[in-house]
A and B are shown apart, each in its own frame.
Chain A
Amino acid sequence: KQEVTQIPAALSVPEGENLVLNCSFTDSAIYNLQWFRQDPGKGLTSLLLIQSSQREQTSGRLNASLDKSSGRSTLYIAASQPGDSATYLCAVRPNDYKLSFGAGTTVTVRA
Chain B
Amino acid sequence: DTGVSQDPRHKITKRGQNVTFRCDPISEHNRLYWYRQTLGQGPEFLTYFQNEAQLEKSRLLSDRFSAERPKGSFSTLEIQRTEQGDSAMYLCASGEYEQFFGPGTRLTVL
A49 within 8 A of B: yes
Q: For the complex, would chain A's binding face be called helix, strand, loop or mixed by DSSP majority?
A: strand
Across the two chains, which residue of chain A brings its CB closest to B103? A43
Across the two chains, which residue of chain A brings its CB closest to B56? A97
A91 contact set on B, CB distance < 8 A: 42-43, 99
B44 touches A101 (CB 8 A): yes
Question: Quick one: which of A32-88 are within 8 Å of B by CB?
Answer: 32, 34, 36, 41-46, 49
B45 touches A44 (CB 8 A): no
Give chain A nearest CB distance to B94 CB in angstroms: 12
Give chain B nearest CB distance to A11 CB in angstroms: 15
B102 touches A89 (CB 8 A): no
Chain B residues within 8 Å of chain A by Cβ, number: 26
Across the two chains, which residue of chain B brings its CB closest to A98? B45
B99 touches A46 (CB 8 A): yes
- Bound-state Cα–Cα, A66 to B71, Å: 38
Give chain B nearest CB distance to A37 CB in angstroms: 11
A residues apposed to B, CB below 8 Å: 4, 32, 34, 36, 41-46, 49, 89, 91, 97-104
Selected A-B contacts with CB under 8 Å, 23 pairs: A34-B98, A36-B101, A42-B104, A43-B4, A43-B103, A43-B104, A44-B91, A46-B99, A46-B100, A49-B97, A49-B98, A89-B42, A91-B43, A97-B48, A98-B33, A98-B58, A99-B99, A100-B45, A101-B42, A102-B42, A103-B40, A103-B41, A104-B42
